[in-house]
Structure 1
Amino acid sequence: MRARIRRQYRIVRYVLYRETIVSPADHFWTFAGTFIAIASIGLLQQAGFTQQDGVFLIGSFGASCVLLFGATNSPLAQPRNLIGGHVLASLIGVAVHKLLPDQLWLASALAVSTSIVCMQITRTMHPPAGATALIANIGSAKILGLGFWYTLTPVLSGVLILFLTALVVNNIPAGRSYPVKPLVWPRQLRARVIRFVRLR
């Protein structure tokens, strides 16, 4: 009995450990992708705003980088989830803040919980987006003053930088691909363009 338990323990430990092994090449690409993405957003911020404003660099982007470059194959890191989750959560966060501007605890709780449910419904679950909804309620006066512009910048502009960086960096090494399923729309767009040219 003890021998069997020990054997099962060794198997489980091996499987769990093996699942967490990442090759040194993956460490490099994770670092490179994250560095390029955050540096690009930071440079954009530095070019247009003082460092105290912190408008372009929001905390949820760091968490998104963990998924995009550290867990590239995760369903939660895919483009639909990344873009849809952040945009949806930012809209909900701002709407709740406008509805309950003086009730920080209630607005924060309502924004995050509603965002999660809406992401579940729309199949755009992206955990860092919960922070995006929260930041819309607890952010600096500069962020709160943006209103619905918060969705356009910093959220959408930052998310597009993250997405484009992930698209380039994660497709350079042979063992990585992003997104996991190839994008369908470029092929559909190409077919429509060819059809349009032939009709003319």
Structure 2
Amino acid sequence: MMGEFVGVQEWLMASLGASALLVFALPGSPMAQPWAVIAGNTISALIGIVAFMVVPEPLLAMPIAASLSILGMFVLRCLHPPAAAVALIVILGHVTQFRYAIFPVMIDSILLVIAGALYSNLTGKTYPNKPLR
């Protein structure tokens, strides 16, 4: 189980592929910006962990976690669609350790944003977007 964090599973974050699609293919999207990617994924992991601890029945915990993670992202203005899947991954993996939200979720998200910024710099694209004044 992922709850034990051993070897490759330590880095497991299946929804990172969808996050990468947004960062690399749609770097101008508000949903691909660093705050959305990092905060959206991290808050969703935290909400998923709490939901699983409070509601140990996965069939009930999954919709609760997904909907609360979307609400959390709206409130924090960090809407990132793949992040809703992070909450589901946490529940399906029986993750109960809060450190999962930091590593791998937040660390992988930061590394993805850095890779996206380097790639964009090399290809002449703008990432992250500069706020309009």
For normalisation by structure 1, the TM-score amounts to 0.60
What is the RMSD computed on CA atoms of the aligned residues? 1.7
- Return the match for 2:126 from 174, 177, 191: 177
Write the letter of the residue equivalent to 2:32.
A
Write the letter of the residue equivalent to 1:138.
L
What displacement does 1:160 show? 1.2
CA distance, structure 2, for counterparts of residue 119 and residue 177 of structure 1: 24
Write the letter of the residue equivalent to 1:134.
L
What displacement does 1:55 show? 2.8
Unaligned runs of 5+ in 1: 1-47, 183-200
Equivalences for residues 115-194 of structure 1 within 5 A? 115-139=69-93, 144-145=95-96, 147-174=97-124, 176-181=125-130
1:151-177 per-position Cα deviation (integer Å, ceiling 9, x unaligned):
011101111110111111111122x11
What displacement does 1:75 show? 0.7
Unaligned runs of 5+ in 2: 1-5
4+ aligned runs moved over 6 Å, structure 1: none
Report which of the two structures shows the higher radius of gyration computed on alpha carbons: 1
1:57-89 per-position Cα deviation (integer Å, ceiling 9, x unaligned):
321100101100011111100011011101110
1:28-61 per-position Cα deviation (integer Å, ceiling 9, x unaligned):
xxxxxxxxxxxxxxxxxxxx81x4xx33132110
CA distance, structure 1, for counterparts of residue 20 and residue 55 of structure 2: 31
For normalisation by structure 2, the TM-score amounts to 0.89
SS of match in other structure, 1:171: helix
Write the letter of the residue equivalent to 1:61.
L
CA distance, structure 2, for counterparts of residue 104 and residue 150 of structure 1: 18
* Residue 73 (structure 1) aligns with: 28
CA distance, structure 2, for counterparts of residue 166 and residue 110 of structure 1: 31
CA distance, structure 2, for counterparts of residue 168 and residue 179 of structure 1: 10
CA distance, structure 2, for counterparts of residue 55 and residue 104 of structure 1: 21
* Residue 11 (structure 2) aligns with: 56
What displacement does 1:95 show? 0.6
- Return the match for 1:111 from 40, 65, 78: 65
SS of match in other structure, 2:62: helix
1:160-200 per-position Cα deviation (integer Å, ceiling 9, x unaligned):
110111111111122x1110116xxxxxxxxxxxxxxxxxx
CA distance, structure 1, for counterparts of residue 41 and residue 26 of structure 2: 18
CA distance, structure 2, for counterparts of residue 148 and residue 180 of structure 1: 31
Percent of matched pairs sharing the same residue: 36
What count of residue pairs does the alignment treat as equivalent? 127
